[in-house]
Structure 1
Amino acid sequence: MKKLLAALVATTALAAPAVAEEITEFRIGILGGDNVQSRLNNYECLAEYTTEALGVETKLFTPADYNGVIQGLLGGALDMAWLGASGYAATYLKDPEAVEPVAVKTNLDGSYSYHSIGFARKDSGVTEIADLEGKVFGFGDPNSTSGYLIPSVEIPAQYDVTMEPGAFFGDVVFTGGHEQTIVAVYNGDIDAGVTWADGLGNWEDGYNSGALRRAVDNGLVDMNEMVRIWKSKPIPEGPVVLRRALPDDVKQKMSDLITGLYDRDQDCAYNVAFGDTAGFTPIAHEAYETIIEVRRQKNAN
């Protein structure tokens, strides 16, 4: 690991730092879309550019689950993270002043949406949700938009089923994250699951970007052995957020770095964005008001 980068793996709660006006380091949280080493490798270039832009050490944190990143942002122990839309909603509902969205990943067609994708093994005989009666269905993380929130609302509404284990599905489990769900389905440990993808490009490539593409790039799966069984409505891509209390000049430098990353280093943008991207563009809170309301209602039930 290059000396500009200090990569720290955080699997427990992050300790809150002492309050200070000027930063002496910059801390980036990485959601658990794939394994720890892959996350660190793919963010190394961004960490190096961050150190160059800010003149301070950059540290990467890879908590065991989404909530670790959310709590790190809420507690002031993280300065930046790329959250899913539901993760941003959870953070905002806890503390509207904790973070601010600054950028969003843009797809090759110019959109900034993606989909929750339901999938199964091709040799399982499962081709649609209706085939899963009595079988095991896997979500990823409870704070994932595509890995839980959206499919837990849309699938029951579309198929008139409940996600309660033992009702329609034989069991409903949380695997822990996108990569875990993909591998569990591929290995036959569960019958079907959901993950995220932009829905563009070819199925055999794992689409252009998303968790399936990352799994293909990492050599974990052969998409020809799996089949799509469900696709959600478009979901707004989650935002890159910055801790609101950061100095204004730091926030400006990091916003410029993220939105200019594709033009500067397309390979780095590919790594950070889980695949092909047209780059990151500015985004504001207003883009997530609908998903915040969905999350609010889900929390109330």
Structure 2
Amino acid sequence: MLNTAVSRRSVLTGALALGSVAALSGCGGNGDGGSSAAAEITSLEVQFVPTNNDGSLEAKAKPFADYLTEKLGVETNVTLATDYTTIVEAMASGQVQLGIMPPAAYVMARNQGCAEALLTSELGAYDRETGLPIEGELTGTFKGEILVRSDSDMQELTDLKGKKIATLSANSASGYIYPVAELKDAGVDPVTECTLTTVNDIPSEITAVLNGQQDACFVFEGARNVFANSFPDNDLFADLRVLYLTEGDIPNDAIAVQPDMDQDMKDKIKETFLNMANDEEGAEAMSMWSHLGYTEVDESAYDTIEEYTEKASA
């Protein structure tokens, strides 16, 4: 289940370099490099990155596709990206016209000119003292979270020096970029002074810490709440504690489309997602990503991702 990362710098550098490749091959449209075809869109390819790779979301993709087909008036297909990089590649090649994109993936695609955010998702806010959700409060940003076992003797960020840490892809904002960058700011280079191990998803990270295989893991804020049902034999609040929350705020997922998409279709997509929380089918679809609503996008909020990516890959 665990695969030790050989060179994180090369992964990040390679992902960022996708921009130059896409610029040569052409972006947007339906893969033909032209924008005219986009105006006559008759089908829609949608993709998202699952937070849990246990296969449960694949069964929910078809009902979501049917929902979008009904709302948008075009045949829609929904697929799961295998990782953060593949959704960028799919947007860059024009194979996907609508991406539900993690923030770092969106920034990569935006920089290639292959993604335009229509909306930003809203998540439930958390009390940072208790780690519990704040009822009725939504937020457009979140923190990266570092979890350790409750009985760990680590008390501060720099205590991670020399430790084994489970991470997500090097293109994950909370699962790699933000905690790595802030560790470097604190004087610890986790790439050379820790043992970083890439895992497939957050439940796998948590499992590795619970069984002592890893000393810590990088996750998103509220992960113990979101994945509590995946651990029926554990009380994640009793067994794990938060060692550190990132100082930097991470913007939520972007609902992004090909920039040359017909404006009428952009408007339909935007209206559909804004109204999803108001009906049962829409709310069920949103639950796949823990989204509770959508709001107007603030592009400047995503600029911080670039700053942190540069630090993490330095």
Report the TM-score, using the length of structure 2 for normalisation.
0.75
Q: Distance in 1 between matches of 2:212 and 2:62?
A: 33
**Counterpart residue identity of residue 114, structure 1:** F
Out of 99, 102, 109, the residue aligned to residue 115 of structure 2 is 99
Distance 1:239 1:40, change over 3 A: same
- Residues 33-87 of structure 1: per-residue CA shift (max 9 Å, x gap): 2115233345455322211022333222223211011110111111222222221
- 1:150: how far off? 0.8
- 1:254: how far off? 0.9
DSSP 3-state at the match of 1:184: helix
**Counterpart residue identity of residue 172, structure 1:** L
Distance 1:258 1:212, change over 3 A: farther
RMSD over aligned Cα, in angstroms?
2.5
Report the TM-score, using the length of structure 1 for normalisation.
0.78
Matches within 5 A, 1:1-301: 19=32, 20-21=37-38, 22-35=40-53, 37-93=55-111, 95=112, 97-106=113-122, 107=124, 108-158=136-186, 160-165=187-192, 167=193, 169=194, 171-197=195-221, 207=222, 211-219=223-231, 222-223=235-236, 224-233=238-247, 234-265=249-280, 267-268=283-284, 270-274=286-290, 277=292, 279-295=293-309, 301=314
Q: Distance in 2 between matches of 1:243 and 1:36?
A: 29
Q: Report the number of matched residues.
A: 265
**Counterpart residue identity of residue 189, structure 1:** Q
Distance 1:245 1:176, change over 3 A: same
Q: Which runs of 5+ in 2 are unaligned?
A: 1-27, 125-135
**Counterpart residue identity of residue 242, structure 1:** V
DSSP 3-state at the match of 2:56: helix
On the 8 A contact 1:103/1:240 being kept in 2, the answer is yes
Distance 1:179 1:26, change over 3 A: farther
On the 8 A contact 1:89/1:295 being kept in 2, the answer is no
Distance 1:80 1:18, change over 3 A: closer
Percent identity of the aligned residues?
22
On the 8 A contact 2:119/2:295 being kept in 1, the answer is yes
Distance 1:187 1:38, change over 3 A: farther
